[in-house]
Amino acid sequence: MAKKILIGITGASGFIYALRCITHLKAANVEVHVVMTKAAQITRSQEVKLSLTELKKSVDYFYPIEDIGASIASGSFQHDGMVILPCSMNTLAEMACGITNNLLTRAADVCLKERRTLIIMPRETPLHAIHLKNMTTLSELGAIIYPPMPAFYQHPQSLEEMVDHTLGRILTLLGISQGLTPPWQGWR
């Protein structure tokens, strides 16, 4: 049976992370479920040349943010993890406080209560104490906080290579085989 991964996309800058993640998941034969905030739709239109229609066609399931009754809002929906990338500080704060007023935060809350993999890629800098406390709260609840911090020891030649290095690590955390980030072999 194919793996199922939920992708949450918020309005923080970094829509390329979501697009490339979807591309790599589909290449790995993963069933992809996407929910995105209204702010993410604005960011998409500013950062990438991909229409909402094209995005919807590239995934297996796309859910309206208001559809709080969608299958992914229930603990009975079986999946292999959720990644929120990029994750705004607003969405992060809602999750840390248990606010589930839309499908994205509800699906994340289900991951936390069901002890399923939840990876959050916060996109903000600098961070103040409330941001850090919210991340700590989510980490204590079992979420993995994975900011997009590129590594340069592999000498990336493009933005895509930098993004893919981060995504390779995320795919590994989800238990998905990937060739984007080779295992560290030590200094040579």
pLDDT on residue 153? 83
Band (111; pLDDT cuts 50, 70, 90)? very high
188 domain residue, yes or no: no
Q: Phi and psi at residue 44, in whole multiples of 5°? A: -55, -45
Segment 103-113 shows an average pLDDT of 98
pLDDT tens, residue by residue, 53-71: 999 999 999 999 999 999 9
Cα(6)–Cα(78) distance, integer angstroms:
11
pLDDT for the residue 150:
86
Q: Examine residue 186 and state whether it is found in any structural domain, yes or no.
A: no
Residue 82: which domain range?
4-173
Assess if residue 168 is contained within a domain.
Answer: yes
pLDDT at 181 over 90: no
Spatial separation of the C-alpha atoms in residues 50 and 60, rounded to whole Å:
17
HSE-CB of 57 using CA atoms within 13 angstroms: 5
Cβ pair 96, 134 in contact under 8 A? yes
69 lies in a domain? Answer: yes
Cα 57–chain centre separation:
19
Distances from the Cα of 54 to the Cα of 26, 38, 48, 125, 146, angstroms: 14, 17, 12, 30, 27
State percent of the chain over pLDDT 70.
99
Tens of pLDDT, residue by residue over 7-56, are 999 999 999 999 999 999 999 999 999 999 999 999 999 999 999 999 99
How large is the average pLDDT for residues 162-188?
Answer: 88
- Report how far residue 38's alpha carbon sits from residue 163's, in angstroms, rounded to the nearest whole number: 23
Within a domain: 88 = yes
186 vs 95, higher pLDDT:
95
pTM of the model: 0.95
| C-alpha span between 164 and 103 (Å, rounded) | 27
Q: Is residue 179 part of a domain?
A: no
State the pLDDT at residue 154.
82
Q: Is residue 57 part of a domain?
A: yes
Q: How far out from the chain centre does Cα 141 lie? A: 17
Q: Supply the CATH number for residue 27's domain.
A: 3.40.50.1950
Q: How many domains does the chain have?
A: 1
Note whether residue 180 is domain-resident. no
